[in-house]
Amino acid sequence: MAEVRCDIQRVMEMTAFNRDYLADALELFDAEGWDAYTADPELTHRALTAPGSTVVVALDGAEVAGLVQLQSDGEIQAHLSALVVGNRWRGQDLGRRLLREALHRAGGVRIDLLTHAGRYYETLGAEPRTGFRIQRDVLDT
């Protein structure tokens, strides 16, 4: 069956994440195979509502079309933790709109991020930098 694409003009509302949006958010994460977000829904809820975390969802009616999570100091630095747009809503600039909305809400003048989708961020005007990730078990050894 042909995929039904959604008209982005209907995705008007950007609002703060809360528990009502958890099931839809988990579906978006699951579609990307993001196991760290899907293994334990309550843990994910705590992560998405943690202090210092700004999470915005884009709504298409009652359905979550996309989600962004930033961590910010409120003034200078923001770090991207997650950005996902549902397949049906892609290619209509929703990713950029989510990033812009979250940065305005969180505060900060720039966003740093780690990603496997570098080309996407370059199309948004991002400049590449070297990044690293240290796992907790490595520090603990």
Ligand X SMILES: CC(C)(COP(=O)(O)OP(=O)(O)OC[C@H]1O[C@@H](n2cnc3c(N)ncnc32)[C@H](O)[C@@H]1OP(=O)(O)O)[C@@H](O)C(=O)NCCC(=O)NCCS
Q: Which residues bind ligand X (CB under 6 A)?
A: 32, 83-85, 90-96, 115, 117, 119-120, 123
- Nearest 5°: phi and psi at 65? -90, -25
In this complex, which beta carbon is closest to ligand X, that of residue 19 or of residue 88? Answer: 88
Closest distance of CB 140 from ligand X, Å: 26
In this complex, which beta carbon is closest to ligand X, that of residue 35 or of residue 140? Answer: 35
In this complex, which beta carbon is closest to ligand X, that of residue 57 or of residue 141? Answer: 57
3-class DSSP state for residue 77? strand
Closest distance of CB 92 from ligand X, Å: 5
Distances (CA, A) of 130 to 11, 76, 93, 123, 124: 35, 19, 26, 18, 18
**What is the C-alpha separation between 38 and 71, in angstroms, rounded?**
20
Closest distance of CB 117 from ligand X, Å: 3
